Amino acid sequence: MPMDMINCKYCSTTINGNFCCNCGQPVQVKRVDSHYVLHEIQHILHFEKGILYTVKELLIRPEKSVKEFIADDRSRLVKPVVFIIITSLIYTIIAHFFHIEKEYIEYSEAKSTTVGVIFDWVQSHYGYANIVLGLFIAFWLKLFFKKYGYNFFELLILLCFVVGMGMLIMAVFAALEGITKLDLTKTSGVVEAGYCAWAIGQFFDKKKIASYLKALAAFMLGIITACIAIGLLSAVIDSFIKS
């Protein structure tokens, strides 16, 4: 073997150059420094394949962008789980900055009961909580839109994008409420639910009013069943603790 040829430490393929021809890994990983960090931030915010591009596409043509992600090109949009975690974090930061979080969700007994503790965790971990919520909404979408042939996980991908956008909408209203001191809680909830119903309805059949109505029903039923599940889980835990 020539002296300038080595084996890739990831897939053991023989390399003669700066990158592995099989897996694409570089022969030598660059050191983490300020240039690396700035590049990563730029990559996340890059308009062509980053968070801004994803937001634009989900606002203008959610049905086309999500369908393309599921069936064809998964490089243009931010990964769905990353997207919902980032947008949930943005909302959390804005809400905490303006000290209005308790106006959106307030539990006076958060430290005294199991259900309060669970909702307190939800309030502190919106990203993960929204993924769990997506599981419940996806169940109803699968039931209402069964004929379209999407599997449960494809619907969950849709919901990561849609609910993520919902969190950005909540973040905008949270910022406005913090600046204007107006109570925009109900308005933000209506706009968020309206966007989610519109985006989901567009995804299935944008020409049918029934698609939007079923999308809204699935969204609301998902939230209701998630709350019921939390209540039942809390009751079981409290019963176990008391016994």
- pLDDT tens digit sequence for 189-239: 999 999 999 999 999 999 999 999 999 999 999 999 999 998 898 888 878
pTM, two decimal places: 0.78
The model's pLDDT over 105-142, given as tens digits with 9 standing for 90+, comes to 444 444 567 777 777 777 778 888 899 999 999 999 99
Question: What is the C-alpha end-to-end distance of the chain, expressed in Å?
Answer: 71
- CA distances for 136 relative to 23, 189, 191, 196, 226, angstroms: 37, 18, 21, 14, 6
Q: CA nearest 220: which of 187, 184, 193, 186?
A: 193
Q: What average pLDDT score do residues 71-77 get?
A: 85
CA triplet 147, 152, 158: central angle to 5 degrees? Answer: 90
CA–chain centroid gap for 97, Å, is: 21
Lowest-confidence region among 13-17, 106-110, 152-156, 164-168: 106-110
Q: Please, what's the b/e burial string for 37-59 (b: 16 or more CB within 10 A of its CB; e: otherwise)?
A: eeeeeeeeeeeeebbebbbebbe
Backbone angles phi and psi of 79, in degrees to 5? -55, 135
Label the pairing between strands 6-7 and 14-15. antiparallel
Which stretch of DSSP H or E encloses residue 27? none
Q: With contact defined as beta carbons under 8 Å apart, do 134 and 166 qualify?
A: no
The model's pLDDT over 52-61, given as tens digits with 9 standing for 90+, comes to 889 999 999 9
- Give me 205's structure tokens: 């059949």
Instruction: Identify the residue with better confidence: 86 or 49.
Output: 86
- Give me 73's structure tokens: 């090109």
pLDDT of residue 111: 53
Neighbouring-strand partners of residue 19: 26
Cα 21 from Cα 40, distance rounded (Å)? 24
pLDDT of residue 103: 43
pLDDT of residue 117: 78
